[in-house]
């Protein structure tokens, strides 16, 4: 199931507050990725804070992104229970 990211906000501790098109919202912890390849660039706070939504996922300058499926599956849900569509 592919669910697009609708909004993102950088949080302290290299975390992202996310809202998805189905109403799910929560926090994704990016810190476990920061010692891996291209994600090392995100340790620069200015780069990390430049996150935005593009084509249904989060992206950073320099063509850096995380798959929306990963964000959705690994996001710790923080919003109140959401209503399921009938």
Q: Give the start-to-end residue ranges of the domains of the chain.
A: 5-77
Q: What is the CA radius of gyration of the chain?
A: 13
- CATH code for the domain defined by 5-77: 3.30.2020.10
Spatial neighbors of 58 by CB under 8 A, at least 6 apart, are 5, 8, 16, 18, 51, 52, 65, 66, 71
Tell me the whole-structure pTM to 2 decimals.
0.88
CA end-to-end distance (rounded Å), the chain: 17
DSSP 3-state assignment of 28?
A: strand
Tens-of-pLDDT digits for all 86 residues of the chain?
679 999 999 999 999 999 999 999 999 999 999 999 999 999 999 999 999 999 999 999 999 999 999 999 999 998 765 544 43
């Amino acid at each position: 199931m592919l669910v697009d990211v609708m909004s993102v906000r950088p949080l302290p501790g290299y975390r992202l507050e996310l809202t998805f098109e189905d109403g799910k919202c929560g926090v994704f912890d990016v810190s476990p990725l920061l010692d891996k390849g291209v994600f090392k660039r995100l340790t620069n706070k200015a780069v990390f804070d430049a996150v935005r939504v593009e084509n249904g996922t989060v992206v950073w300058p320099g063509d850096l992104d995380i798959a929306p499926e990963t964000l959705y599956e690994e996001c710790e849900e923080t919003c109140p229970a959401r209503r399921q569509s009938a």
